[in-house]
Structure 1
């Protein structure tokens, strides 16, 4: 069932109870949990937070902690699986599900009181009607007449009922397939939790900043479309104006301030050199084709027309002349159309704390994503989760700066691998899709054995391939990328990630369902464990037949 009033039907219900919060390994989920934890501490609510990355983690965490609680909050996990069937919970245990993954499982939606869904569906999301997917079982073998006498199974009325049931089941399968064939994402869960804080009159600049980071991650990961981002941004801007209405003179020097301004779609450019940021940003690199000699010349031409000396652009942004730094954004905006960089600027937010450096929401997303998928073998997933939680606190800027440096290494690895794919012609057309494989033993392979970084590599590779490809068909082809899973506990396991084609305006992804069907058809050793269904673990030995089945399915 859907919860219409978050304050009355969610927060007032759990107030005074002990709560188990299961949080998915993504930045939006962690930001949402930070907001919720802040509310819990304000009202002295006892809670336990457990990070989960896969369905197995969800089951294990539930079995380990569920006996101590009667109320569970699931953040960005569990909405797309039948929770009652998966976890077998006692009848008096209540789940509150705030999940941005779509489509939501139909059993969760119609479960009654036990599973309560906090997220709201978008206007374009349609849920099948209850009567179309559920009905009471009827005996197929025999029917009783009015006098209680059993009639034979070949009775004409019985046969008619069986025929009608088969037709209903066929129709049900078609309806469920149409509903579940595309995976996509709904609104940010962090924004949902901030709305709750606002309704409880417990909102603050820090909570608002976490909501902004969650929404920005949705955009940067291409989980929501630009128009939906703009709608939410307008609402967030109203909150920014409300909470930051005082002038700088009226506020203490160490006050936290959020501002709404235009932002360049360039990775970490305030913490990097301008040239390096241009080269390692997906949008500018693929638009100007910066991995080619021609692209490098175009970049130099752009800098020359802007009047920016190369020596200034190759040093750290903070070391550039102040006059050049101040003119950088307007100069780029004036030359954007000529160089095809029309979408280089977008509406975003900045944060300042006293006299410290300014950080944009994009900076936070890059840094926290890198910390979450750390390559440090001594750190567990839980350690990385806690480090990201720390980096979101305004007082822990040293952790954030560490994340920024890690993110630079990650972006450099993605760029090198993308260039290798193109230079070696390793992006291959398989008919209905393109595919590329990170070769085992590649030094940077350790970066890609994580869902976020692998998805970034896939998006970078597909757009770069389309930019240089002579075939017009490449724009309408999706991409599948595989890489050795060096973090897996089993040997000979690879990660497989599928993304939709560049020509698709919506970010709906059909690979989740396609991977599931190909694995069933071939009997491949595949682990469909991730909540992001377009990424799976697959045995290297089964990769060939798995791809053959995908080609057959998608042709």
Structure 2
């Protein structure tokens, strides 16, 4: 069931018992977790935090930590699964779901006691009525058997048989309608409101919010925008709401806040202003940032020789010498740094890079700590996806969590350097694929298989970089293709996941023309696997990401093409 009053029906209910926090490996989930941790710390609450990468992780984490636990909070995980059926919890256990994945499982929505979904149902989420998908016919059958035993007359039997036939026909009709309704409801997978935003709003209603919390909510919403998880209209609305919260918290009168908060406000400053949406440009060189940002790379076609020439022309026309553009931004001449945004704005129309002119939130702490929200997101994504044989994913999760701490700048800086490597690898791989024309058409969708043996392949063993690569390539393909249908085609990208056991990773993204990014690949992957008896690992909470055996990939793609034809 949905819980709309989070303070009364969630926070007060969990205050007296130790909680189990199961948190998915994504930036929004980490930000929501960080806000909850701050609230728990302020109220001296005890909790256990376990990061979970997939469904098997979640089941294992619950089984290992469920003793003496009454409240389980699931952040960006579990909402699309029948939790009671999957985890078989004791009757006293209550699950609180804070999940941006959609659609929710109907058993969770209509659970009356053990499952509580935090927040209200989305306006455009067409949830079926209870009676359309749940039905109990056992009482009718019992009544029929009892009447047959008590009355042996043939007339009565005939009438009851006719009633039984009618009931069976009704049940068959209801089952067919139910299958259609469930298919329509679960056909597309998509994302809802940021979980970090939802938790921040709860803290605000409880009058326990502060500038740190609003910053974490900003980072969570920024991740959704960068990875195209939600439509741009919702991102703009969230941005406006967060800007009003920043303004309110910054301008609180001295009498309304305690001394600690006054001191905090004197050293933390969050600004919302016009900015360039170039990746990491304050911590990189101007040339590298222009090359590795998707809008400029696509508009200038930087994967081609002509694109490189246009980039040099742009820098020259801006009056930015190559020597300056290849220095770290912070080392450039002060005048050039101050005028850089105006230089770009002046030529944005001519070079068709208008989309990089926007607004952003920036956090400043002291003299040396100044980062915009997208810097933090790229840093956290790179840290989160840097696991290896030597470094466990759980360690990467905790490092990504530390990126949100103002006192651990070294981890954040390390993340920024990793993010540069990640973005460079994405660009180089996209450039190679676009130049070699490795994008194939399966009729109803496009697909790419990343060749083995590349030095950057280790980056694409992880879901987030592979999704970012797919989005970059699809935008570039649509922008440069002469085919009018190109904007209508979704894209599937696959790369080696684990060479030792011969598995590959596969992601599907919706078409470029979809402003509301809803993907049909979750259900399509599932059906294609059934049709071919392929053993896919649909372990991720995002159903559009799967793993499967490399030798079964060609057969699976053929089945997918036949299914979507």
TM bucket by the smaller chain?
Answer: over 0.9
Q: How does 1:2-401 map to 2 (within 5 A)?
A: 2-138=2-138, 143-145=145-147, 148-149=150-151, 151=157, 155-245=161-251, 255-401=267-413
1:298-317 deviation digits (Å, cap 9, x = unpaired): 22222222222222111110
Q: Could you say which residue in structure 1 is the equivalent of 2:258?
A: none
Q: How does 1:432-451 map to 2 (within 5 A)?
A: 432-451=444-463
What is the CA-CA distance between 1:185 and the residue it aligns to?
0.3
Report SS of the residue matched to 2:2.
coil
Structure 2: how far apart are the matches of 1:547 and 1:169?
A: 31
What is the CA-CA distance between 1:450 and the residue it aligns to?
0.7
Q: Could you say which residue in structure 1 is the equivalent of 2:507?
A: 497
Residues 1:482 and 2:494 are matched in the alignment: yes
User: Does the 8 Å CA contact 2:303/2:435 hold for their aligned counterparts?
Assistant: no
User: Does the 8 Å CA contact 1:20/1:47 hold for their aligned counterparts?
Assistant: yes
User: Does the 8 Å CA contact 1:97/1:119 hold for their aligned counterparts?
Assistant: no
User: Does the 8 Å CA contact 1:253/1:354 hold for their aligned counterparts?
Assistant: no
Deviates more, 1:370-379 or 1:184-193: 370-379
User: Does the 8 Å CA contact 2:4/2:119 hold for their aligned counterparts?
Assistant: no
What is the CA-CA distance between 1:68 and the residue it aligns to?
2.5
What is the CA-CA distance between 1:120 and the residue it aligns to?
2.7
Q: Could you say which residue in structure 1 is the equivalent of 2:257?
A: none
Deviates more, 1:370-379 or 1:4-13: 370-379
1:437-460 deviation digits (Å, cap 9, x = unpaired): 112222211100111111001111
Q: What is the TM-score when the length of structure 1 is the normalising length?
A: 0.96
User: Does the 8 Å CA contact 1:375/1:446 hold for their aligned counterparts?
Assistant: no
Deviates more, 1:275-284 or 1:331-340: 331-340
User: Does the 8 Å CA contact 1:99/1:119 hold for their aligned counterparts?
Assistant: no
User: Does the 8 Å CA contact 1:98/1:118 hold for their aligned counterparts?
Assistant: yes
Q: Could you say which residue in structure 2 is the equivalent of 1:549?
A: 559
Residues 1:515 and 2:525 are matched in the alignment: yes
Structure 2: how far apart are the matches of 1:149 and 1:268?
A: 82
Structure 2: how far apart are the matches of 1:89 and 1:152?
A: 46
What is the CA-CA distance between 1:291 and the residue it aligns to?
1.4
Stretches of structure 1 that go unaligned for 5 or more consecutive residues are none
Structure 2: how far apart are the matches of 1:10 and 1:152?
A: 55
Deviates more, 1:385-394 or 1:373-382: 373-382
User: Does the 8 Å CA contact 2:444/2:489 hold for their aligned counterparts?
Assistant: yes
What is the CA-CA distance between 1:154 and the residue it aligns to?
8.3
What is the CA-CA distance between 1:145 and the residue it aligns to?
3.1
Report SS of the residue matched to 1:68.
coil
Structure 1: how far apart are the matches of 2:158 and 2:329?
A: 85
Distance 1:388 1:309, change over 3 A: same
Structure 2: how far apart are the matches of 1:251 and 1:287?
A: 45
CA RMSD of aligned residues (A): 1.9
User: Does the 8 Å CA contact 2:285/2:326 hold for their aligned counterparts?
Assistant: yes
Q: What is the TM-score when the length of structure 2 is the normalising length?
A: 0.94
2:434 alignment partner, one of 416, 419, 422: 422
Distance 1:251 1:328, change over 3 A: farther
Distance 1:552 1:242, change over 3 A: same
1:206-232 deviation digits (Å, cap 9, x = unpaired): 111111000000100100111101111
What is the CA-CA distance between 1:253 and the residue it aligns to?
9.5
